[in-house]
Structure 1
Amino acid sequence: MVNRTSLIVTQLNDSHAYFELHQEMFWQGGQAVYRPAGGYARMATIIKQLRAANQERVLFCDCGDTLHGTHRALKTQGQALIPILSSLGLDAMTAHWEFAYGPATFKQRAAELNYPMLAVNVYDQATKAHLFPPYSVKEIGGMRIGLIGIASNIVDKTMPPSYSEGLEFTPGREELPPIIDMLRTQEQVDLIVLISHLGFPQDMKLLSEVQGIDICLSGHTHNRLYKPARQGKTLVI
């Protein structure tokens, strides 16, 4: 008999430090319509309800563009969001605009969160060490889940030099296979989730080249997917 368990996978991405419920544009029947979206209090309520209804079997990850974007966030260099984000019950995060505060401040903000910042493709130029851990392992409802973060790889190419000073960014293509293998063979995970801020087209290309990822949480390009896309055996949300 095959033992089965359920897991609710939820994703936050590209919230750009909008603290409160606000109007956003959606396409409906070929027309633009506006309706309320976002709001961290609302998100917290939804996640709490999901966890209560599903025996806490909920994975909640953030694909980035979270600590930067509104006046309050910029004025405090992202610090105003830390207690709010830490109260949401997030499991892991990766990044893009978070680098706008400079690597040192970003590292400080990440250390203040109560969940890991992950980036398999960002290195310190001097030491060649990862700026953040490339992966983490989370156990939910008896299921071991390998979480891999891949940050935006355009920070050093399209953004001001101060954002990436002393850092190197890679596409992540070469780093992923050995980490996937290690998570399967050594960590004995049941599921591998990629938390990405590359963008939907870039994620689809990467997933056509890298095998072994079960779910990709895709951020950056603001695509609204109402049901998962698929690339090979990988579900893309």
Structure 2
Amino acid sequence: RAAHRNVLLLDAGDQYQGTVWFSRFKGREAAHFMNLLRYDAMALGNHEFDEGVSGLLDPFLKNVNFTILSANIKAKTSLANEMMKYVLPFKVVHFDSESVGIVGYTTKETSFLSQPGDDVIFEDEIEALQVQVNELTAMGVNKIIALGHSGFNVDKNIAQKVKGVDVVIGGHTNTFLYTGTPPSTEEPAGPYPFMVDSDDGRKVPVVQAYAYGKYLGYLNVTFDKKGNVLEAVGNPILLDSSVPEDEHIKEEVEKWRKNLGNYSKEIGKTSVYLNGTSQACRFQECNMGNLLCDAVLHENVGQPDKKSWNHVSMCILNGGGIRSAIDEQSTNGSITMEDLLSVLPFGGRFDLVRVKGSTLKEAFEHSVRRYGIGSGELLQVGG
């Protein structure tokens, strides 16, 4: 902001979930710190619905002082109608005599990836976006950013098919894009920005900036007077120790951290690296998946059923439900409740069910139906 004019700070969703902070504060922490950072807009991600519509409305939507966006969410109940008072399809930002439109979208898979219940419907992103982009164009806005949370492939489709969108900023697949030599361990899935040829003959930059707050995506876009993109350059900025700490934010972090003391007590030890990364558990067998399934089996085998040789013979677990690794070197082998909540943050349960072999086969077929894109269905197995 100090070095550039006309700056927008945008978030592509999924501020909910993933750490002990969310387990304790349920979204109030995200609202508080995003307000301090002075965000301009945020698109809703699927995890914003993990606590239902009420769990999004009360702790988060009612407390943020920036714009929340999604063009493809429609309300079905009075509770959802209340929620939609705080969610807009688009926002227009004015820079002197120039206007920039920001239109939001949320993955239509949210209905089964999260817990929105029957309160809302998630429509097709491209169809919903085109309606709102047409409205922005009719208002005379000729510089339009699509900001959303549907994954890199959908981002590219939006850039190609939604007429009038000039820039796409996405999330959901945690895609790392970088031009040049990357500054850390992530391997780029393509250049930053990734340029897409639109159906109406334009070059549309598409960006994502990985995950976990590790990077700040930086994109500098130059438009001509007609709103066409002349240049789009940048790269994700690695937020390592070279970035100075903000003393006020640091004080606020420490103030909130005092409520997390009980989560930092040691409850176990490990002598090996427990790999719970998406790169491992969504693409292959990972030792964190093995450990979790073995723990489930151990717990259930301890409660025998006299009717069969063993009332539990195997465990299956979505690789996408495993959200973090435990590094024995950085923690001297210590495992805390905070670590466990980072690995399994969603508060789900393990169900013991009897299934036919044919049903199990269907589960494995479903597990690999989209293999290769890291979508999370790949099963971790024990037994």
Query: Equivalent residue for 1:105?
Result: 55
Higher strand share: 1
1:85 to 22, 34, 37: 34
1:34-49 map, 5 Å: none
1:171-204 deviation per Cα after TM superposition (whole angstroms, max 9, x unaligned): 2222222321221221x22410000101001111
User: Which of 110, 118, 122 does residue 155 from structure 1 map onto?
Assistant: 110
Distance change (3 Å), C-alpha of 1:117 and 1:70: same
Match of residue 177 from structure 2: 225
- TM-score calculated relative to the size of structure 1: 0.71
Corresponding residue for residue 163 of structure 2:
211
Say whether the 8 Å CA contact 2:155–2:169 is kept in structure 1: no
Higher Rg: 2
| Bigger mean CA offset, 136-145 vs 147-156 | 136-145
Q: Residue 190 and residue 209 in structure 1: after superposition, are their counterparts in 2 closer, same or farther (change >3 A)? A: closer
**Which residue, out of 170, 175, 178, partners 2:131?**
178
TM-score using structure 2 length:
0.45
Separation in structure 2 between the aligned mates of residue 147 and residue 206 of structure 1, nearest angstrom: 14
User: Distance in 1 between the 2:97 and 2:51 partners?
Assistant: 38
Question: What SS class does the counterpart of residue 8 from structure 2 fall into?
Answer: strand
Q: Which residue of 2 aligns with 1:61?
A: 10
Contact 1:195/1:218 (<8 A) preserved? yes
Aligned to 2:206: 236
* 1:116 aligns to 2:67 (yes or no): yes
Larger mean CA deviation between 61-70 and 118-127 belongs to 118-127
For residue 111 of structure 1, report the CA deviation from its aligned partner: 2.4
Kept in 2: contact 1:86–1:115 (CA 8 A): yes
How many angstroms apart in 2 are the aligned matches of 1:73 and 1:199?
23
User: Would the aligned equivalents of 1:137 and 1:144 in 2 still touch at CA under 8 Å?
Assistant: yes
Shift in CA distance, 164/63, structure 1 to aligned 2, threshold 3 Å: farther
Is 2:162 the partner of 1:197?
no
**RMSD of aligned alpha carbons:** 1.9
Shift of 1:141: 4.5
Question: How many Å separate the matches in 2 of 1:91 and 1:164?
Answer: 29
Post-superposition shift, 1:207?
2.6
Paired-residue identity, %: 25
Partners of 1:152 and 1:110 in 2: CA distance: 19
Identify unmatched segments of 5+ residues in structure 1: 1-50
Q: How many residues align?
A: 183
CA separation of 1:174 and 1:78: change in aligned 2, threshold 3 A: same
The Cα shift of 1:142 comes to: 3.7
